[in-house]
Structure 1
């Protein structure tokens, strides 16, 4: 059974000031988790975690992670701007290219970030846009299928990302001829897996690729980025990833493959947004309606616009009815939001304790790819984000949107002025 990191008493006090729905993050849990990761890879002197900004792009959380020694993995102009504003500069930033506009390459190079190229054709595109930096990284796509223990984890051959090996080799040579001096290698072959064999297996593939490139081109990579992919146990019965075991597995592959080939000083990087923040954020919502027709429904004040993963992927998120943690789960419910879409459900046929209107529900494991994936369909507004501090108080780290935020991009129009006037007349805050 999953246990929330916040109590009912704490939530009641929080909701006196901040109405639901809102996201709540656990500072203590986040810091401790980053330190576990760093300890697991402490055998590598150059190890660094580049937190995937897309997972949870909040400057307060990024600043917290910066204090813990993390860098940032960015994938867009605005993510680069956010990282820069928080104080990440130079090699603190990894910029992963993917169908990238020229202005994003220009900004990444201006900030001194490490550019991770996605395709062979991007080499000349980057050269023309802003020049080739001395440090460069390339994303590898080995093709085929990626398997562990006879289970297919991913199909790289069907993925739009990365260089196949022949293009990778040619790309390294071309980049060197253009002035690149320090090279990195990157790959991402599985998403959200708690299989402890994933990272060591991926590391083996990248380490052997680095050795082959060294033998064929004379280029020794300086760093290898294992990217993300280590997941979290969304379901209570799932076994969590063992980060100590994973770190040791990567170390063994490093010693077996890289060291004998003379590649003894390769830095290891990771991009573990979900692993770091996922379990330490939740969506807090209130039951506001109940409906008894062909099924039993509980309507809450959050919706898929606040957390889209269940609607989009059918993803499971555990739900705790606060104050009823030890009550029998003897009621079968669909937990729904208010969107005009029938897939706007946080749970389907979920066995839970009896839910009454006014009950507070905690939707677990929403700390990554939760608020970040919010949207405004039906004119629904994105919720606030709060940080539960290590010493107990709660800090507002993103206010809830207002109707005027929704209309703000119409500020040049007569309609916006009418709406702003009507907001005041209607007493909407």
Structure 2
């Protein structure tokens, strides 16, 4: 059963200072997770975790990860700008984008980020837009269906990301002919896998591909980026991946394939946004209303604006009643206030009685929580609060105001 990283007493103090809803992050947990990842891959001298900024784009969080030796993976020029302003060294910034604007490639070149190209056609586009850097990475999509044993994990052929094997090889040939000196390989084949076998299986495929690239093209890759895909168990079972076991599994195939073929110099990179942050965030909300029709409804002050995943994907997020944890269990839908029937955090969920005024926490919102927020119905994005290692709380993003929402409108004066 999932347990919040904060006590009811400590949370009461925070909600007395900061009005709900808000996202709450656990500094201690974030640091411990970063250290565990780095330890799991310490066998590889060039290892680097490039945290996916899109998961939790807050400078306070990124600074914590920077202090723990992590880099960042960016998907847009704004994420690049944030990372650069925070002070990440150019070698610690990766740019993995798709359908990319020329200006974004130009800015990535300006700050020295490592560019990971999504499409074969992007080679010519990058060259024209900003020139080719000395180091380029290419994103591979093997097509077909990705399986682990008899289980279908994902369908890469339907993914818009990456290039075919033929395009990949032609891309390396073209880049080498144009003077590129250092090469990387990147692939993402499955999302949110809850198995210790995913990374080693993916790594083996990419390592064998690296051997082919060396044999056919005479190119020795400098790094292989395993991307993300190592997920979290959102369910009450809470059977999480073991990063130490995963790291050792990758180590085993690294030795069997790369070291055995004279490619033991290759650095391993990861982009573990969800795994790094999701379990270390809670969406804190209070019960506003109760309603009984054909179902029992618990209405809270958060909505899909604050956490979109349940509405968009039907994703499960566990909910804990911090105020009344031992109350009589009832079956309810936990809902927000948007004018959409999918604005539900839980459907027909067994929960201890949630009374008006009770504080609920929605688990595993630390990644792809706040970052996927929006302003439907004129609802405003919530604050973000950091629960620090010393037990104090610090606001790291204030809640939006109506003035923020109206600020970009042109031609109207709402003060009249």
TM-score normalised by length of structure 2: 0.99
1:167 maps to 167
Matches within 5 A, 1:277-316: 277-316=277-316
Distance across 2 between alignment mates of 1:273 and 1:258: 26
Distance across 1 between alignment mates of 2:64 and 2:271: 16
Matches within 5 A, 1:183-198: 183-198=183-198
Distance across 2 between alignment mates of 1:164 and 1:215: 18
For these two proteins, the number of residue pairs brought into alignment is: 416
1:373 maps to 372
Q: Give 1:324 deviation, angstroms.
A: 2.9
1:425 maps to none
SS at match of 1:368: coil
1:331 maps to 330
Distance across 1 between alignment mates of 2:189 and 2:229: 8
Q: Give 1:327 deviation, angstroms.
A: 4.1
1:224 maps to 224
Matched, 1:142 2:155: no
Q: Give 1:326 deviation, angstroms.
A: 4.0
**Residues 204-240 of structure 1: per-residue CA shift (max 9 Å, x gap):** 0100000000000000000000000100110011421
SS at match of 1:409: coil
1:408 maps to 407
1:382 maps to 381
SS at match of 1:51: strand
1:398 maps to 397
1:179 maps to 179
**Residues 116-162 of structure 1: per-residue CA shift (max 9 Å, x gap):** 00111110100001111001100011111110011111111121111
Q: Give 1:98 deviation, angstroms.
A: 0.6
Matches within 5 A, 1:29-44: 29-44=29-44
Distance across 1 between alignment mates of 2:42 and 2:324: 41
Matches within 5 A, 1:27-426: 27-328=27-328, 330-410=329-409, 412-413=410-411, 415=412, 417=413, 419=414, 421=415
Distance across 1 between alignment mates of 2:43 and 2:104: 34
Stretches of structure 2 that go unaligned for 5 or more consecutive residues are none
On the 8 A contact 2:2/2:237 being kept in 1, the answer is no
TM-score normalised by length of structure 1: 0.96
**Residues 364-387 of structure 1: per-residue CA shift (max 9 Å, x gap):** 000000000000000000000000
Distance across 1 between alignment mates of 2:288 and 2:18: 16
Q: Give 1:64 deviation, angstroms.
A: 0.8
Distance across 1 between alignment mates of 2:45 and 2:258: 15
SS at match of 1:252: helix
**Residues 171-211 of structure 1: per-residue CA shift (max 9 Å, x gap):** 00100111110100000001011111100000001000000
**Residues 309-352 of structure 1: per-residue CA shift (max 9 Å, x gap):** 00100000000000333445x20000000000001000000000
Distance across 1 between alignment mates of 2:156 and 2:294: 43
Q: Give 1:16 deviation, angstroms.
A: 1.7
Distance across 1 between alignment mates of 2:325 and 2:279: 18
Distance across 2 between alignment mates of 1:326 and 1:269: 45
Distance across 1 between alignment mates of 2:356 and 2:112: 53
Q: Give 1:242 deviation, angstroms.
A: 0.9
SS at match of 2:408: helix
Distance across 2 between alignment mates of 1:15 and 1:243: 33
SS at match of 1:396: strand
Distance across 1 between alignment mates of 2:207 and 2:343: 44
Distance across 2 between alignment mates of 1:158 and 1:365: 28
Distance across 1 between alignment mates of 2:117 and 2:67: 28
For the aligned residues, what is the CA RMSD? 0.9
